[in-house]
Amino acid sequence: MNSAQWFERAEKVIPGGVNSPVRAFNGVGGTPVYFKSGKGAKVQTEDGTELIDFCGSWGPLILGHAREEIVDVVAKTAADGLTFGANTAKEAEFAELLTTLIPEMDMVRLVSSGTEAVMTAVRLARGITGRRKIIKFDGCYHGHSDYLLVASGSGLLTGGTSSSAGVSPAATEEVYVAPYNDLAAVQEILKANGDEIAAVIVEPIAGNMGLVEPAEGFLEGLRAATAEAGALLIFDEVINGFRLGPTTFGHSAGINADITTLGKIIGGGMPIGAIGGSKAIMSHLAPLGPVYQAGTLSGNPVAVAAGMKTLELLRDESPYLKVEILGKRLADGINRIAEEKGLDLHCAQKGGMFTPFFRKEAVHNLDDSKACDQKAHAAYFHHMLDHGFYTPPSGFEVAFVSAAHTANHIAAFLAAFEKLDS
């Protein structure tokens, strides 16, 4: 059966035919593609086609699909038992590795998803400060817990909404929203309501309204402003963590958030999330402290094994310079072709992350991102798909170059992009 036939079957038994909304292709139109297998930088579809993948399962596959060492350790670990709901030695070893690679982290708690990690981080901040409210940024996506679906990005933007039905008004009343990169707005909220604010949560590099980098001084300003107000600073590094180096972006930038959340890469393709911070912060979590968090599959041995092997490979092989070079070559090529063809777009890029924004002006926040031509992005998506390349099916997402990509893959991508209609 082909993708269309599988989607028709799925629609009868899965809401919208998908288990995550952006997969429905509502942002780009057409029938969703069904993947069958993947190896390195390529995936095979149920339609019998091979695609070069620049989505990478939305970020976890920085080493590419089915890296042999990771597959081997997953198989070996699974053979010894899929889950125990009890302690394993690997959990302690993984936590030791994370705290070594991220020196600001004294302790880490493993969970099963980025959403769960962020949900726990916010609860922890409230428990520590005794305050109820938080500040987040318009267009930043932090998972789908109620408090964080206020003015979200990612799939919610693709669906044309900034929140969700079913979210309690009481939850939204406890969230202040500021434009990303607007430090003055945060300072104003803290000045007026500082004694109510438990935390400011931010993606250090925004990745859910397309790739948007922090303005100079923005993150440093958040660090100073939260410290002055007695609020905690949470860095959501579910996308950023281990993306640009074998540590967090916060560590690389020299900005020490109070709580950091992780996911994606640290699971090597398996479901995982983590919350980390100083011993003083993390000791508030049960069973040491009064902030409760639990999970049957937290520290799942298969996910931990995959994540640990991934981080070891990233530490030992350090593919980051290669990924940066390929990412810059791709973005520079897109921008050159766009200029030559008179296309109204520019490609933002940082390391292996990139987003073609269909407007020439730089994108600094959600309003800028929403001003881009989403119909033009949809045409780009299908053009690249037809030429053998899979990119995120939404203009509000980040695409990824992995260590499995080669200079030939980049050259082929640019050759296909050059055929895009003006």
pLDDT, tens digit, for every residue of 116-149? 999 999 999 999 999 999 999 998 988 877 667 7
Distance of alpha carbon 36 from alpha carbon 33, whole angstroms: 10
pLDDT of residue 195: 93
Q: Are residues 302 and 344 in the same domain?
A: no
Q: Are residues 106 and 10 in the same domain?
A: no
| 165 pLDDT more than 50 | yes
Residue percentage of the chain with pLDDT more than 90 = 90
- Does 341 qualify as catalytic in the annotation? no
Alpha-carbon dihedral angle through residues 286, 240, 101, 61, given to the nearest 10 degrees: 100
Scanning the structure block, which residue is given the tokens 């002055």? 228
Catalytic residue among 136, 138, 147, 236: 236
Distance of alpha carbon 292 from alpha carbon 60, whole angstroms: 28
Range of the domain at 12: 3-62+319-417
- Does 264 qualify as catalytic in the annotation? yes
**Residue type at position 341:** K
Q: Are residues 257 and 396 in the same domain?
A: no
Number of domains the chain contains: 2
| 155 pLDDT more than 70 | no
CATH of the domain at 16: 3.90.1150.10
**pTM beyond 0.85:** yes
- Does 320 qualify as catalytic in the annotation? no
pLDDT of residue 159: 34
| 296 pLDDT more than 90 | yes
| CA distance to 169, 183, 204, per residue, from 216 (Å) | 35, 10, 12
Catalytic residue among 42, 90, 133, 264: 264
pLDDT digit string, tens, across residues 259-277: 999 999 999 999 999 999 9
Distance of alpha carbon 219 from alpha carbon 52, whole angstroms: 35
Q: Are residues 170 and 285 in the same domain?
A: yes
Distance of alpha carbon 385 from alpha carbon 273, whole angstroms: 31
Residues 6+ apart with CB under 8 A from 161: none
Residues 6+ apart with CB under 8 A from 49: 388
Rounded mean pLDDT, 225-237: 98
- Can you name the residues that pair with 84 across neighbouring β-strands? none
Residue 235 — very low, low, confident or very high, per pLDDT cuts 50/70/90? very high
pLDDT of residue 158: 35
| 4 pLDDT more than 70 | yes
| Residue 128 near residue 211 (C-beta atoms within 8 A) | no
- 35 in helix, strand or coil? strand
Indicate whether 422 belongs to any domain: no
pLDDT of residue 37: 98
Q: Are residues 196 and 240 in the same domain?
A: yes
Rounded mean pLDDT, 25-53: 97
Catalytic residue among 90, 138, 141, 309: 141
| Residue 240 near residue 249 (C-beta atoms within 8 A) | yes
